[in-house]
Amino acid sequence: MEEQVSKIEEKSRPLADDDPRERLNGILALTDMALELPLKEREEMVEHISKLADDKESFVRWNVAFALAKIGHPRAIKIIEEKLASDEHMVVRYKTALALGMIGDDAAIPILEKMTSDTYKIGEHAVTRAFASMSLGGFRNEAAVKALAKLVGDEDPVVRWHVATALGEIGLESGIQYLDKLIDDPMPFVRAHAAISLAQIGHQSGIPILERSLKDDVERIEQIKRSALVTLKSIVRL
């Protein structure tokens, strides 16, 4: 036990270094060490790494988010929520959204739902909303579907695309009503992924939706819809 404590102290020293690259190396070393331990024994590493959640360098902060996600200790979710999900730097926020998706714990869903209200854009695209939507696709949970439902009419087509894809990844029948709306989206790539997700969910109620929307102004999208319909019908017959 004493040997482990001394190793933690040794690997924690770079976290106080003036060079941000050394601080990053400290984060990586503690993460590797944590992954060698049972989950319940990783909390001390989480506490050390979380001290850099307020680091002045944005790239250090977003690496804190990924490190905490990899370690996966329940304490990490609270730290991410309090320190990183509302970080002033947009890149930290969207990378935090990705990190929350990596954790895979349902406690991350309400944090991601809040992040779907992020208003910062790069050009015309709301990057954090898009990545939060994508991460929600990793949770087979009705709460994730409800969080995504709020974004079906989002002004950013990239967000709507991620919503369509995420609903398919979740795979719950409750997502079909929202795919019914996205199948008629103005953007071809959103329509295409809504069709694919209907096939992926594999419920017979998706058949009339695909049949209704088969004709498309874009030939390639129509081909995707027809292929999705064939796939869905074959799944339903199984």
Domain end call among 45, 75, 103: 103
**Residue 88: what are its φ and ψ, rounded to 5°?**
-70, -20
199 found inside a domain: yes
Q: CA-to-CA distance for 93 and 24, rounded, in angstroms?
A: 18
User: In three state form, how does the secondary structure of 227-238 look?
Assistant: HHHHHHHHHHHC
pLDDT in tens, the chain (238 residues): 555 557 888 889 999 999 999 999 999 999 999 999 999 899 999 999 999 999 999 999 999 999 999 999 988 899 999 999 999 999 999 999 999 999 888 999 999 999 999 999 998 899 999 999 999 999 999 999 999 999 999 999 999 999 999 999 999 999 999 999 999 999 999 999 999 999 999 999 999 999 999 999 999 999 999 999 999 999 999 6
35 found inside a domain: yes
Residue numbers of the domain that contains 171: 119-238
pTM, two decimal places:
0.90
111 found inside a domain: no
CATH of the domain at 17: 1.25.10.10
